[in-house]
Structure 1
Amino acid sequence: MNFTPVGVDIAKQVFQVHWVDPQTGEVISRQIRRAAFLEHFANRTPCLIGMEACGGAQHWARRLGEMGHQVRLMPGKAVKAFVIGNKNDVADARAIWNAVQQPCVRAVAVKTETQQAVLALHRMRQQLVRFRTMQINGLRGLLTEYGEVMAVGRAALNRAMAGVLARLSERLPAMLMDTLREQWQRLDVLDEQIAQIERRLSEWMKEERACRQIADIPGVGLLTATAAVATMGDPKTFSSGREFAAWLGLVPRQTGTGGKLRLHGISKRGDVYLRTLLIHGARSVLARTKEPGPWIEQLRRRRPNNVVTVALANKLARTIWALLAHDRKYEKAHVSVRPV
């Protein structure tokens, strides 16, 4: 079935739609209010709708998909290359219409509401961890102004805080001392909120078969398993594990001309959060595993530790894709054989 390509530039209230009528060849660029957006596409034959993967795009992709349309969400960086002239809603919709017809543009997976809910928990947990780090650093900085210097880290703060407050209570006003105690106690509240989110993620992990499949991989724990399943969506959208690893930015960046190809550091494209979790998981494997295996041992002799860590993170990503795409359990002694 031939789907008419349609470019949609979404916003809060006014959406810009661009397409070419397949019968007359007329170029149509139209503004549609938010309230009438779904009604417009409900009355049309199935289309190939392209949108930037920005805020709200997942919601509209699900709703349009329920109507029978084929929706492709694309990274903003891929669409930007097709913007001609000044950047405005009309030019953006035209660029999206051009980009959605290019087979080389990698589409972002349309996620279910449950997968988005899991990612929302991850984002809120990450925000709370940042708040906690800011709170610790703020307390250390304020106390340094009064001659109390503490080592870096939460454990060092807990060990020294009681004695520091006792010494300063004789010199400083009570209003400041009470506030410092409240801010210190607030760290326990943040700890409990973070732990509560982790318990909810753990409950979902027990219910989700895909999470249990990849949780047996060394270096893949609660956070990595739940984030990987929710971020990937359908593993069949990637043709191979190497493509999934490249999508996460765990492959070398390439430059070349005249037939000469040069490899640089990793590209760092894709999801920063999931890539960070995979690298931390690989680092924990290298630090704690007594028998890392011959592949890692050989790599350690030839490459620096950071390169080995990223290489193992790449392998973790490929293993995750292989287990989910082929519906298999993790086997430590499994040997991958290239099909003939």
Structure 2
Amino acid sequence: MNTTTFGLDIAKRAFQMYWVETETGEIVNRRFTKQQVIEFLGQRPAGRVALEACGSAHWWARKIVALGHEVVLLHARFIRPFVQNNKTDATDARAIWTAAQQPGMRSVAPKTADQQATLALHRMRSLLVKSRTMQVNQLRGLLYEFGVTLKAGRVAGLAEVRERLHEIEEVVPGTLFDALRDQLQHIERIDGEIRKLERQIVAWQRQEAACQRVATIPGIGPLTATALVATIGDPAAFKSARELAAYLGLVPRQSGTGGKVRLGGISKRGDSYIRMLLIHGARAVMFKSRSKGAWSEQLSLRRPTNVVAVALANKMARTAWSLLAHDKTYQTDYAAQRAS
């Protein structure tokens, strides 16, 4: 008996589902409420439910799996080409169903609640870091308007502000000085919130064996390890380490015609946050590590610094996938063996 495939277009309140009955061939495109979707799938035999990987999709994936169905999460970019005519909930549901039927269609691995929570902590921290940077830059700019220049760097600059508060008070008008002092306190509160989130992220890293294995790779710390493991989800969702690197946008962009393929800069697809963490980690290995490794040292002799950093980030991501997919531990002098 053939398994029924459902194309489900999710939203906050309106849910559209498209499927073809395997026994009668009847085409159905129905509108549901949230509770009706759950009740309907709970009464149906086990099948495949295809969703767009959008907001709340991972929660729905866990819910649908608990009802006994297989879930296929598809990127919106792969669904859009199958939307016919005007874009509506009904056409979106049919496009999702059609995309799920395509051979070799790539899917997104559903995330667990813990993985989603960890990524949420990362997003909160990232927003706070961005806000802190904006506050510090504004503080520098406002003081510069009154002839006060500060040292480069966030830590050194803020330390100098605190040391020179009496001097700044004499230069800056009283109304502005009170506001600047409040802004300093606000930056301190943001620092405290960032440290609190980082402690929560590190706590999850310590209890997850996968994060601990990934963190042993040079250039990968608690932040990168937790974000990478939470984003990858199930390593089996990627066919190879190179597919993960391509998913993170760390491979060359291809453009070709007439049998000729040209390679450009990196594609920058996927999650820019994790790509940033990996590249920063690669730079830390290049400039601060005592043992850079023969591979990166030889590459540094013939390639620019930025190219080496991205290549090393690519290697770090591929190594992380290998450790997770094959349940191995990191070995410094490991050499891959080719099958004869």
Shorter-chain-normalised TM-score: which range? over 0.9
- Alpha carbons 1:7, 1:19 under 8 Å: kept: yes
Alpha-carbon shift at residue 146 of structure 1 (Å): 2.9
Aligned length: 340
Separation of aligned partners in 2, 1:96 and 1:152? 51
Separation of aligned partners in 2, 1:173 and 1:294? 58
Q: What is the TM-score normalised by the length of structure 2?
A: 0.94
- The 3-state SS of whatever aligns with 2:31 is strand
Which runs of no fewer than 5 residues in structure 1 stay unpaired? none
- The 3-state SS of whatever aligns with 1:31 is strand
Paired letter, 1:205: Q
Paired letter, 2:31: Q
- Match of residue 106 from structure 2: 106
State which drifts further: 172-181 or 240-249. 172-181
Alpha-carbon shift at residue 293 of structure 1 (Å): 2.7
- Match of residue 157 from structure 2: 157
Separation of aligned partners in 1, 2:48 and 2:312? 38
- Alpha carbons 2:135, 2:183 under 8 Å: kept: yes
Distance change in 2, residues 1:252/1:171 (3 Å): closer
1:202 correspondence with 2:235: no
- Match of residue 271 from structure 1: 271
CA RMSD, 1 decimal: 1.8
- The 3-state SS of whatever aligns with 2:328 is coil
Alpha-carbon shift at residue 130 of structure 1 (Å): 0.8
Distance change in 2, residues 1:191/1:31 (3 Å): same
- Match of residue 328 from structure 1: 328
- Match of residue 133 from structure 1: 133
Give runs of aligned pairs for residues 5-20 of structure 1, distance below 5 A.
5-20=5-20
Separation of aligned partners in 2, 1:38 and 1:199? 37
Separation of aligned partners in 2, 1:334 and 1:170? 62
- Alpha carbons 2:248, 2:269 under 8 Å: kept: yes
Per-residue CA deviation, residues 291-321 of structure 1 (Å, 9 max, x unaligned), is: 4233223322332211111111111111101
Alpha-carbon shift at residue 39 of structure 1 (Å): 0.9
- The 3-state SS of whatever aligns with 2:261 is strand
- Alpha carbons 1:165, 1:177 under 8 Å: kept: no
- The 3-state SS of whatever aligns with 2:256 is strand
Alpha-carbon shift at residue 85 of structure 1 (Å): 1.8
- Match of residue 21 from structure 1: 21
- Match of residue 144 from structure 1: 144
- The 3-state SS of whatever aligns with 2:82 is coil
Separation of aligned partners in 2, 1:169 and 1:277? 39
Distance change in 2, residues 1:172/1:212 (3 Å): closer
Alpha-carbon shift at residue 165 of structure 1 (Å): 4.3
Paired letter, 2:5: P
Alpha-carbon shift at residue 144 of structure 1 (Å): 2.9
Per-residue CA deviation, residues 44-68 of structure 1 (Å, 9 max, x unaligned), is: 1122111111110010010000111
Which runs of no fewer than 5 residues in structure 2 stay unpaired? none
State which drifts further: 57-66 or 256-265. 256-265
Per-residue CA deviation, residues 126-156 of structure 1 (Å, 9 max, x unaligned), is: 1110111111112122223333343443134
Alpha-carbon shift at residue 100 of structure 1 (Å): 1.2
Q: What is the TM-score normalised by the length of structure 1?
A: 0.94
- Match of residue 212 from structure 2: 212
- Alpha carbons 1:15, 1:32 under 8 Å: kept: yes
- Match of residue 247 from structure 2: 247
Separation of aligned partners in 2, 1:140 and 1:168? 12
Separation of aligned partners in 1, 2:173 and 2:284? 45
Paired letter, 2:302: R
- Alpha carbons 2:256, 2:262 under 8 Å: kept: yes
State which drifts further: 36-45 or 58-67. 36-45
Separation of aligned partners in 1, 2:300 and 2:253? 21
- The 3-state SS of whatever aligns with 1:169 is helix
Give runs of aligned pairs for residues 37-116 of structure 1, distance below 5 A.
37-116=37-116
